[in-house]
Structure 1
Amino acid sequence: MKPYVLGISILIAVAGCTSFGTYYKPGTTLEKIDRDTLSCRTRAEREVPPRIIIDRYPVYGPPRTPGGPRVILYWETNYIDLNEGLRDRVRAQCMSDAGYERVAIPYCTEEQLAGKTFKPLAKTPKLDESICAVRRDGKRILIDLDKPL
């Protein structure tokens, strides 16, 4: 692998750990965002059901086996949902109609937390550089770094 490809791969992997993408609307709770996301996902599934096609193509091999030349034919199968992209757009439009926008919220770094205690935010504030997320009990919670306890 070329050094620059490895470096870019590492940067992408690290960047994926520093923030998370979500729908966001100031003044709501994370639970309401989850409920609205589920509602829009359900609506999109109902309006744009999966349209699965099965793509099969032959694969030949091995060209030689003990006891003489022999060709074995078997089928490779791919399942493709043609409506997946449209369903994603319907879900995104539903969330936009409900007042949400897609954002990336950074995770708090160890240096930012540095032995301080923070209270989880009950409602989503207007996003600025003092808002970040922490993983706790398998959930993401938002905190305001300007308001330690």
Structure 2
Amino acid sequence: MLRLSATLAILGIVVSACGPTSLVSYTKPNVSSDTANRNFVECRQEANALFPAAVFTQSVPGYGGYGAFYGGYPGWGGSYIQARDANEPLRAQHLSDCMTLKGYRQVIHPICTREQLAGRQYQAVSRPPSGASPNICAARTQGGGSTLIDLSKPI
């Protein structure tokens, strides 16, 4: 049982390491949020049209279960389907290039840590700052997205 717990703990660390560690935003002086959002949507639509999803799947044998620990067949844990979109990097690059051509500058914000949030709520940033700031980080929303918050402005 101890081995199973250790394996699950290691699996949790590996899976959490796969999550995003930053959020990219775009900023341009003297541009309203509406205009910035409209430009972002236009660039994203153009990227999606030029590089549509090209998803490839493959069955990957699973490893785990008690059989793997006690000399049994390592594939005893079953298998899972792994999906990969071959065009995702191209869409991301085109989006970045398009926003740069429109005069925006890319700003990378870290994802907020649990320690930073510590169960408190903070004010959302209405407009991305023009540069990286130690008080600004991206918090995950309940809908699965992210929003920028200012750690120096608790609610």
Task: Calculate the TM-score normalised by the size of structure 1.
Answer: 0.51
**1:141 corresponding residue in structure 2:** 147
Name the amino acid aligned to 1:116.
R
Give deviations 1:56-103, integer Å, cap 9, x for gaps: xxxxxxxxxxxxxxxxxxxxxxxx98xx95x76654332102222334
Superposition RMSD in Å:
3.7
Residue 92 (structure 1) aligned with residue 67 (structure 2): no
Name the amino acid aligned to 2:141.
R
Name the amino acid aligned to 2:100.
S
Larger helix proportion of the pair: 2
Give deviations 1:92-135, integer Å, cap 9, x for gaps: 33210222233432111111112332111111123211100111
- Structure 1 residues 37-76: aligned runs within 5 Å: 37-43=40-46
- 1:115 is aligned, of 113, 119, 140, to 119
CA distance in 2, matches of 1:125, 1:113: 20
- 1:35 is aligned, of 29, 33, 38, to 38
**2:137 corresponding residue in structure 1:** 132
Task: Calculate the TM-score normalised by the size of structure 2.
Answer: 0.49
Q: Of the two, which has the highest radius of gyration?
A: 1
Aligned residues: 108
Contact 1:107 1:132 in 2 (8 A): yes
How far did residue 141 of structure 1 move?
Answer: 1.0
Name the amino acid aligned to 2:39.
D
User: 1:26/1:135 Cα in 2 relative to 1: closer, same or farther (>3 Å)?
Assistant: farther
Question: Once the two structures are aligned, what percentage of the paired residues are identical?
Answer: 34
Structure 1: segments with no counterpart, 5+ residues:
1-9, 51-79
CA distance in 2, matches of 1:26, 1:142: 17
User: 1:110/1:99 Cα in 2 relative to 1: closer, same or farther (>3 Å)?
Assistant: same
